[in-house]
Structure 1
């Protein structure tokens, strides 16, 4: 039963990651990280397929082995978060919403900056 649950979680996040390939605002690698984590508990073969993928395998392996995030990925993520907070402010969201969003995004940005570069 547990194996089946982990397998379902893996396929769910793998599906979202695949959608992220086509939609530029949906990140792919974070969803593949969760899928690989779930597949490690349910299907080592599927986990290995993610790790062996020529495009998406290296960033997943870098995260799993060293907690590393690529420099370009860091720049894109922080830029997107900054743009999202700026857009919220520009469209007139309540100040408290923008402040909470900014605090969360700043925390994530600090976390990303402190990760080693892949």
Structure 2
């Protein structure tokens, strides 16, 4: 095997093991756009989409990540999520109401059999258990990032 082939294989391996920043930047913008749409569309979860957008931006654009972390609406929530895995109490109850509403619409609109009802109920119960076992948000001081 010659030197160029080995070098090419190393470069390809490196490229495929570490996705490029462009992918994460595009994904971050896509998730942020979906989160914005979720503000107006019921049952499209805004909060998890913003969390994923922030995670994508942390791997691609420090400027966008900082903008989200300093945002007056999302900043404290994102910082609480990153530091403590915390979810606001209001968010927990909105998730509960959304799941119950969706479940009732599913049952009344589809009139499924018992096996499907049980599968959907368990599928909604597992995330709710996870959400309600997370700590509630703490109040973060409003000092800008990087300052102490």
Higher percent of residues as helix: 1
- Of 97, 108, 132 in structure 2, the residue corresponding to residue 113 of structure 1 is 132
Unaligned runs of 5+ in 1: none
Structure number, greater radius of gyration: 2
State the Cα distance separating 1:24 from its structure 2 match: 4.1
Cα distance in 2 for partners of 1:7, 1:93 equals 41
TM norm structure 1: 0.92
Q: Given the alignment of the two structures, is residue 36 of structure 1 paired with residue 35 of structure 2, yes or no?
A: no
Tell whether the 8 Å contact from 1:89 to 1:95 is kept in structure 2 after alignment: no
TM norm structure 2: 0.74
Deviations 1:84-116 (A, max 9, x none): 112211221333322211101110111011000
Deviations 1:54-97 (A, max 9, x none): 01111111111110001111011011111211221122133332
- Of 28, 49, 60 in structure 1, the residue corresponding to residue 67 of structure 2 is 49
Tell whether the 8 Å contact from 1:29 to 1:60 is kept in structure 2 after alignment: no
Secondary structure, counterpart of 1:48 in structure 2? helix
Question: Segments of 4+ in structure 1 off by > 6 A?
Answer: none
Deviations 1:24-60 (A, max 9, x none): 4323221110000001110111111011100111111
Count residues with an aligned counterpart: 118
* Residue matched to 2:28: 10
Cα distance in 1 for partners of 2:42, 2:108 equals 22
| Correspondences of 1:70-109 after superposition (within 5 Å) | 70-91=88-109, 92-109=111-128
Unaligned runs of 5+ in 2: 1-18, 138-148
